Structure 1
Amino acid sequence: MPVTPMSRRSWRQTLAVYRRPEVLTMLFLGFSAGLPFLLVFSTLGARLRMSGVEVATIGYFSWIGILYSIKFFWAPVVDRLPLPLLCRLLGHRRGWMLAAQALILLGLVGMALVEPAHHLLLIAWLALMVAFGAATQDIVVDAFRIESAEESLQAAMSSVYIIGYRGGLLAAGAGALALAGNYSWSIAYLGMAGLAVVGMLTVLLRPEPPRPPLAAQLAREPKVRAFLRRTRGWPRTLKRAGAWCVGAIICPFTDFFTRFGWYALALLVFIGLFRISDLSMAAMANPLYVDLGFSAQRIGEVTGLFGLAMTLLGGVLGGLLAARYGVRPLLWIAAALVAATNLLFAQLALSGANLWMLVVTITGDNLTNGMASAIFIAFLSGLTSRAYTATQYALFSSIMTLPGKFIGGFSGALVEAIGYPSFFVYVSLLGLPAVALAAWIARDRRFSEPASTS
């Protein structure tokens, strides 16, 4: 079915995009990507707090999430190096995806069988294993999404991906907390390991996206051709290895800076600041609920009921608005909302164990983040060249999370020093530079250059 250009779509045509198979696939892959995140982050924080681990230690545990932020280091390997057997049987993207999902499943089973109070270091290593598998899966899923459909479908695919991702977060948050409250943490983590099968089945059922062979990609890259000309006298094996390194590691970065010039630096700064406020506080959300006196079951019920509804609404709303009006005009609104919702957590901390304030906080946070994430993922997809999808998008998403994750490691110590209310006001203020940069990018036409498809 031909896709109507974004500027000419009616609302009916916009909604029809969501019925396309490649768009619906992202619902399940998004779920698979979102599932492990909280299990090594805030859900793990709640488990550790209920096991008697100090708040400051829980804050340092959030540094495990930095693996998501440095995934660009191994993204070129994932992008260009095939896995033996798996990639031959399933294709390059699907083979890597299945391997990453298997690593997640094994790590979650291990976390289910270990008690944090007695084996805190082992829990940390198992969480690192899950985080590495999840970060690798993210590299492949992002490349799979961008390569599976044309650019005009990316906003819809991003919004559906966010809905699935948030569904995975809710399962790993509200679902795991409910299982822990009714049964045990071991049952909760075993149940989450079972849900990892959703992504594995999706990989087996969906086709590999079209992609030119590696040799053909390398042959079209001027820097690779120049390298081969300069190394004519080198041994064949050394030349092939050098050409691979140039094509897989150097070209993705030079392509981005060639297309945007020095404005590329401004884009990278903006990407790093966009989610700094919500990522800096994320590790302290569940400890706040626990310290206010809410039970694991109550937290699970509220985040499950209201969080799911608002996440679905936010994801769909963000995708529809981006498809209808374009991404750049919405960036500053999304950045402002992400920063402002942290003030709801400050008010909750002042309100005590107020159930309605908990509902308002979780509702506002999930609605805003669902909408903002759909808009921002579409923005990043537009910056990504299809010749280097995995490596460039891994760079963008790594930079997006690294500053917030690093600051988040000190969040527990900050809470102990200044208290929850002041902490959440502080992280809200961290988002103001992102709002200013988003407003500049939205007005400056030099940032609207489409991604290269070469």
Structure 2
Amino acid sequence: MNQPRRAPSIFDLFGQRKMAALLLLGFSSGMPLYLTSKTLQAWMTVEGVDLSTVGKVSWLALPYSLKFLWAPILDRYVPPFLGRRRGWLLITQVMLGLLIAGMALHDPRDALFLMFINTVLIAFFSATQDIAVDAYGVDVLEEREMGAGASLKVMGYRIAMILTGGLALVMANSLPWATVYVIMGAFMLVGVLGTLMAPEPVLREGPPATLASAVVHPFMEFFRRAGPVLAPVILLFTVLYSLSDRLVQNMANPFLLAKGYTLVEIGTITQALGLAATIVGVVVGGVFVAKLGINRSLWVLAFIQMGSNLAYYMLAVRPKSTGLLTGAILVENFSGGLVTAGFVAFLMSLSSRQFSATQYALLSSLMAFGRDFIGGYAGDVAQRSGWPGFFLISIAAGIPALLLLPIIAPLTRENPRGAAEHTGEVTDDPDLARG
């Protein structure tokens, strides 16, 4: 597993049925997010709901943070159709299509409580779909394919965000909001298509025997595979690896506003050029992993994400310039896309196929901890150090992960230490799909 493998050609890599399915599943995964947050808040604001209530919509996204609690259910139980991964995908996608369209039945002025209940249900099934999509990616991809699979998932996700955060608002300018949500619900059929065309992972080892084992065994299997000493180091590395990039992302808009850039300048450049740069970045990151392997990619990307923060340092020490702003946004988003593809491939490699739903959900929660909790102190750091000092500190924040790289991803190995084996074996045989 640790010997270098022949890098696949770009056509062989991206021209597979499972890759096309991951693009569509990524789209399906991204559809509900803005419909339960930014777009919903726009609807409520237009209808005259008070700002205090509009702000509390963010509380309704709690299921996204707690999804690891019910992830073992998706490992343990196999639906009676399509297999363990695609069966759960179809269930969540059908429910999401109905629930999103069902938002049309509620008026935010007269039935806000029922609308909020509907929104929580959408968030729950959306988080459950995310579990299934992530687990499917872990199960069907070989190590060298993981960066490409991650890049296509992210691309599909971003396209869905454009649809629900941009096109939906444009449509609402000439159509009733209820009609817009019905149309958005119909777009979940894209995910259903992806599920039906996707090959099911082969489950030779079978699912966990009991729900209790589905809860306990993922921890035991990971610590047994990685070892009691290395396992905590891997988990620490998971928290620290993208911290340098996350610190800048958390404070980018406040910095740009303080520098004197307008909302129009920030919004236009970040949403248009920034989004395009991110998509290009994740695709290039997928090719990186395919050509270099996960370990060498982690080394290259660690230096890239630290170096990309220099673009914001230049913005901080130079006079206001639209050209510099454009360059910084392009560099940050492109490098962020690269790092996302490589790091998601790393998380996939650590997840065992038998427990992929639970293990990936836990690992991604640790990554979110680094982003949300530790990154939450970014404002305090910026306040004390000033903006130029903050961006230099953000570069230094990448050093701890860099020091752990020789332990986690030695260059003499193909894959990270503690990684599970991934054959990427798929089937259209329902018996093999069930285990």
Matched, 1:258 2:224: yes
Question: What is the Cα deviation at residue 62 of structure 1?
Answer: 4.6
Matched, 1:198 2:190: yes
| Equivalent residue number for residue 427 of structure 2 | none
Q: What aligned pairs does 1:49-198 form with structure 2 within 5 A after superposition?
A: 58=55, 62=58, 64-82=60-78, 87-109=79-101, 125-179=117-171, 189-198=181-190
Residue 368 of structure 1, aligned match among 327, 335, 338: 335
Alpha-carbon separation, structure 1, partners of 2:39 and 2:292: 36
Q: Tell me which amino acid in the other structure corresponds to 2:361.
A: A
Question: What is the Cα deviation at residue 276 of structure 1?
Answer: 4.8
Question: What is the Cα deviation at residue 253 of structure 1?
Answer: 1.0
| Equivalent residue number for residue 420 of structure 2 | 451
The residue matched to 2:5 in structure 1 has which SS?
Answer: helix
Preserved CA contact (<8 Å) 2:298 2:342: yes
Question: What is the Cα deviation at residue 329 of structure 1?
Answer: 2.6
Alpha-carbon separation, structure 2, partners of 1:421 and 1:48: 36
Alpha-carbon separation, structure 2, partners of 1:260 and 1:156: 25
| Equivalent residue number for residue 230 of structure 1 | none
1:304-337 C-alpha deviation (Å, 9 max, x unpaired)? 6424432332122101111111222332553565
Preserved CA contact (<8 Å) 2:248 2:391: no
Preserved CA contact (<8 Å) 1:307 1:366: yes
The residue matched to 1:70 in structure 2 has which SS?
Answer: helix
Preserved CA contact (<8 Å) 2:22 2:153: yes
Question: What is the Cα deviation at residue 259 of structure 1?
Answer: 1.2
Moved more, 104-113 or 87-96: 104-113
Alpha-carbon separation, structure 1, partners of 2:51 and 2:303: 32
Residue 359 of structure 2, aligned match among 375, 388, 392: 392
Question: What is the Cα deviation at residue 448 of structure 1?
Answer: 2.7
Matched, 1:29 2:21: no
Preserved CA contact (<8 Å) 1:31 1:165: yes
Question: What is the Cα deviation at residue 342 of structure 1?
Answer: 6.9
Alpha-carbon separation, structure 2, partners of 1:429 and 1:186: 46
Moved more, 393-402 or 188-197: 188-197
The residue matched to 1:375 in structure 2 has which SS?
Answer: helix
Q: What aligned pairs does 1:38-57 form with structure 2 within 5 A after superposition?
A: 38-41=34-37
- RMSD of aligned C-alpha atoms? 4.8
Preserved CA contact (<8 Å) 2:349 2:422: no
- Kindly, what percent of the aligned residue pairs are identical? 34
Give the total of aligned pairs.
414
Change (3 A) 1:279 1:157: same
Question: What is the Cα deviation at residue 112 of structure 1?
Answer: 6.1
Alpha-carbon separation, structure 2, partners of 1:208 and 1:269: 33
| Equivalent residue number for residue 306 of structure 1 | 273
Q: Tell me which amino acid in the other structure corresponds to 2:153.
A: Y
Change (3 A) 1:368 1:137: same
1:61-108 C-alpha deviation (Å, 9 max, x unpaired)? 5565553333221111111123xxxx2233332221122223333443
List alignment gaps of at least 5 residues for structure 2. Answer: 424-435
Preserved CA contact (<8 Å) 2:74 2:88: yes
TM-score with structure 2 setting the length: 0.74
Alpha-carbon separation, structure 2, partners of 1:359 and 1:6: 39
Matched, 1:315 2:307: no
1:332-364 C-alpha deviation (Å, 9 max, x unpaired)? 553565567678779889999986666445533
| Equivalent residue number for residue 8 of structure 1 | 6
1:360-389 C-alpha deviation (Å, 9 max, x unpaired)? 455334322321111111111211222222
Residue 378 of structure 1, aligned match among 331, 340, 345: 345
Preserved CA contact (<8 Å) 1:63 1:406: no
| Equivalent residue number for residue 240 of structure 1 | none
| Larger helix share, 1 or 2 | 1
Change (3 A) 1:370 1:97: same
Q: Tell me which amino acid in the other structure corresponds to 1:156.
A: A
